[in-house]
Amino acid sequence: MTPTVDLAQITAATFADARYGIFINNEWRSAQDGKTFTVENPATGDVLMTIPDAGAADAQAAIDAAYAALPAWSALPAGQRADMLRKVAALMLERRERLATIMTLEQGKPLAEARGEITYAASFLTWFAGEAERVYGQIVPANTPNKRILVLRQPVGVCALITPWNFPAAMLTRKLGPALAAGCTAICKPAEQTPLSALELGHLFVEAGFPPGVVNIIPASNPIPFSNAIFDDERVRKISFTGSTEVGRILITNSAKTIKRMSLELGGNAPFIVFDDADLTAAVRGAITSKFRNSGQTCICANRIFVQRGIYERFAEAFTREVAGMKVGNGLLPDSNIGPLIDLPARDKVQRHVENALAHGAQLLTGGTPLPAEANPTRTFWTPTVLANASTDMLVAQEETFGPVAPLIPFDDEEQAITWANDTPFGLSAYFFTRDVSRVFRVAERLEFGIIGANDALPSTAQAPFGGVKQSGLGREGGSVGIDEYLEVKYLALGI
Ligand code: SIN
């Protein structure tokens, strides 16, 4: 039986004392032109908050503030910057329940996943607090005795950080952590669907003692005025963006004007390969985790599930049984495993992929429909779906579905699996399950992806360099190399 939860009461209590605006210089401002926009709950359609809608003048004010704050922030000893980052991380963990509730309300993901995201998000601040203290230079031997060469690493400068709606907290801290640790200041543009998680974090930065102007957060219903202000301004030296490959392409083109550093974490089309010798239980559990995390709305979700013929029937049966048992519903309800999709276009894409697969010969093993109308107020809830005997030419294998649809594609041998897996312009993440250690190395080395999970469906962690190859992006976030994205290398040739 579904436990009783007073959803309206939770929403009212969460936002009763909330104060959000355009966050510049540690102040909460209205938009200069007075505009506002609404943030809605994708599970109910209810308006959660009406907040200021930043335009070009507000973006400009944020750039001014970040630029003014840069000299003092970058000159602060790294240990002091690290202490402040650790303080925000501690506050995030202390306020985890509130932050997770805000996230579920504006994004839709189940509360347990939102709690997990807050912990994950805090880990980037802690990790990069450590890295702040390890930004070393080099002394390089010169080729004459009266010369020395010193290599310095210095903050890039003002950074524009543009984050997506699917991980409203973790994608922000994965960028802010290294930027602030390196001594950069930041202007953050959260996704228009989910600005509240980012704005709530703004309060924690103030509480942790961050000086005005170091972190600025610009909510806007339309990202274009913000982007144009960034592109036009020489003082913004770096853009970090997580989102679609189409938008990434536009950012690359437009940033040519003032030649900015770029980090891009873009789309994926992850293969998930189950070899005959895989541990069946682990492979099924892994496929569930990878495919259905955040209702299938992650860039590293399994998109194409390749299953070798010798294990195909057993995998399909066990996997379908698990999927059929998943509970779709409002993320605040404790037994929901699958929340709503972010909006109707997302839902329409899922429907198009399912219909295309069925029209081209796939069989429906479970799901395949939206939730019934009476349980689906926003029409964005889709039942977790398994498609048998899918093939590589179907839409569901050609495009990133970004929803709870699992196409099972049978394959014959290792060569075929690798060829099919690599047959995509994207190269973010890939997974495979096998018990053969030689195959682990053979396959991992041939897969053209930045992130490989071998018998591991959840490879994301602050210590690892997250990022893609091919059209999945540029640069890495996390790991010891993550801070390099926010550092310029300079050398000093010194005559003595
Ligand atoms: C993403 O979907 O872009 C991020 C997923 C993760 O960090 O695990």
Residue-wise pLDDT tens digits, 170-206:
999 999 999 999 999 999 999 999 999 999 999 999 9
Q: How many of the other CB atoms lie within 10 Å of CB of 492?
A: 11
CB atoms within 10 A of CB 109: 28
Does domain 7-266+473-493 fall into CATH 3.40.605.10? yes
How far does residue 459's CA lie from ligand 1's centre (Å)?
A: 10
- Say how many Å lie between the CA of residue 374 and the centre of ligand 1: 32
Share of the chain above pLDDT 90, in %: 98
**Per-residue pLDDT tens over the stretch 71-117:** 999 999 999 999 999 999 999 999 999 999 999 999 999 999 999 99
Q: Ligand 1: which of 247, 300, 342 to mutate, judged by most atoms within 8 Å of the beta carbon?
A: 300
Residue 3 has a pLDDT of 56
> If pLDDT is split at 50, 70 and 90, which confidence band does 4 have?
confident
The CB of 299 under 6 Å from ligand 1? The reply is yes
pLDDT of residue 285: 98
Q: Give the burial string for 304-317 (b: 16+ CB within 10 Å, else e).
A: bbbbbeebbeebbe
Give the residue numbers marked as catalytic: 265, 299
The answer to whether residue 1 scores a pLDDT higher than 60 is no
Start-end ranges of CATH 3.40.309.10 in the chain? Answer: 270-461
Strand partners, 474: 264
Which pLDDT score, from 0 to 100, does residue 21 have?
Answer: 98
460 ligand 1 Cβ < 6 A:
yes
pLDDT of residue 66: 98
Q: Atom 8, ligand 1: which residue's CA is nearest?
A: 460
- 472, 428 Cβ separation under 8 angstroms: yes
CA 311 to chain centre: 33
Give the Cα separation of 74 and 159 in Å (integer): 13
Cβ(409)–Cβ(306) under 8 Å?
Answer: yes
The span from the CA of 16 to the CA of 101, in Å, is 13
CB 325 within 8 A of CB 337: no
> Whose CA is closest to 431, among 247, 295, 246, 307?
307
Query: Model confidence over 440-480: pLDDT tens digits?
Result: 999 999 999 999 999 999 999 999 999 999 999 999 999 99
Q: If you take atom 3 of ligand 1, which residue's CA is the nearest one? A: 299
Percent of the chain exceeding pLDDT 70 equals: 99
Q: What is the mean pLDDT of the chain?
A: 97
333 and 3 Cβ atoms separated by less than 8 Å: yes
Q: Whose CA is nearest to atom 6 of ligand 1?
A: 460
State residue 123's pLDDT score. 98
CA dihedral 37, 40, 45, 47 (to 10 degrees): -70
Per-residue model confidence (pLDDT) at position 2: 53
Q: Give per-residue pLDDT as tens, 470-495.
A: 999 999 999 999 999 999 999 999 99
CB of 278 closer than 6 A to ligand 1?
no
| Span 270-461 CATH architecture | 3-Layer(aba) Sandwich (3.40)
Q: Look up tokens 């029937």; give the residue.
A: 313
Comma-separated ranges of CATH 3.40.605.10 domains in the chain: 7-266+473-493
Q: What is the mean pLDDT of residues 13-34?
A: 96
- Which pLDDT tens digit goes with each residue over 104-157? 999 999 999 999 999 999 999 999 999 999 999 999 999 999 999 999 999 999
113, 161, 166, best to mutate for ligand 1 pocket (most atoms within 8 Å of CB): 166
CB-based burial label for 374 (10 Å; 0-12, 13-18, 19+): exposed
Query: Is ligand 1 within 6 A of the CB of residue 300?
Result: yes
Q: What is the pLDDT of residue 290?
A: 98
What is the per-residue pLDDT for 5?
A: 84
pLDDT tens digits for 229-242? Answer: 999 999 999 999 99
